[in-house]
Chain A
């Protein structure tokens, strides 16, 4: 099977005045369809830089990045935008929903930039379907400020899924959420992954990473460990445990 994401000796160097900052210094890895990868590392480890490139928001300084068979180093700004639109879905730590814009319209956003153009009717149908997938079909006309953090993140996930991307990229998706909601979001991810969606997630929380199938740890711009998650958490079970704990606290 061909990898969907293939990095070969990927390097990214920033120039800060006369100072050269080597954010990523030689990463080679392949991610295959159906994987659920957690990328961990302290701040400054290069994981965000790598995610920016994987997300086609940035280009490698040297080395190769092949996304779904397309070498991106040679693409221009518009071609990268097109790739992001068709093949990638983004979920951010801060949700990044458009304020004063309904959940439905937020989910429709990527389709505004799809080519060929998607009819308004089809946009609506697909957005509603994506909202259904994350269990928010009944909140379609709510504005972000009327939704809880977990609900906002699920709207963001629906937005990421609406164009049926090859890969879902999540940058600290639980960073702004409490532990219960975090587990719920992981539940959504696991369910999507079971349906065959490839997920790459950056996190610095070990227990969140344990919901993934594969864990990559970065330090100082290189991959330190790359291993299968041994004792994988199941979101449904974790929620049951959390509820039991809560009940116990209640009784005591």
Chain B
């Protein structure tokens, strides 16, 4: 038996074994972070590659918040990217941000964009939603960095 062949086989086997481990870690990664942005874009994009650009969104400039950050409460430290979708807050499973807070209602409040501003609206919660110290009774614009209080949870918009 040729010693070189043997060496090649054994190194190749180890390489394949490690490839398996790396592939498995890739699956774990997909599971944690979702499909990569590139793959998702490729899938959702229709075949024609350069359609006329959709009307440009105003670029997130100095005045536009980009994250919703939880500053107090059980989820403290968590931040959510702001897109053009509304964000629902509450204890219900289908809320965008599921609050693990005994003082929050299942569908507590929502935050949605309108005319370049983010608006907070209470959805008939039991304990109310507060913007800074003011109780939110009707849809109210949220300035950046002003705390929104829901039960023990405090959130704010940040750049």
Same complex: no
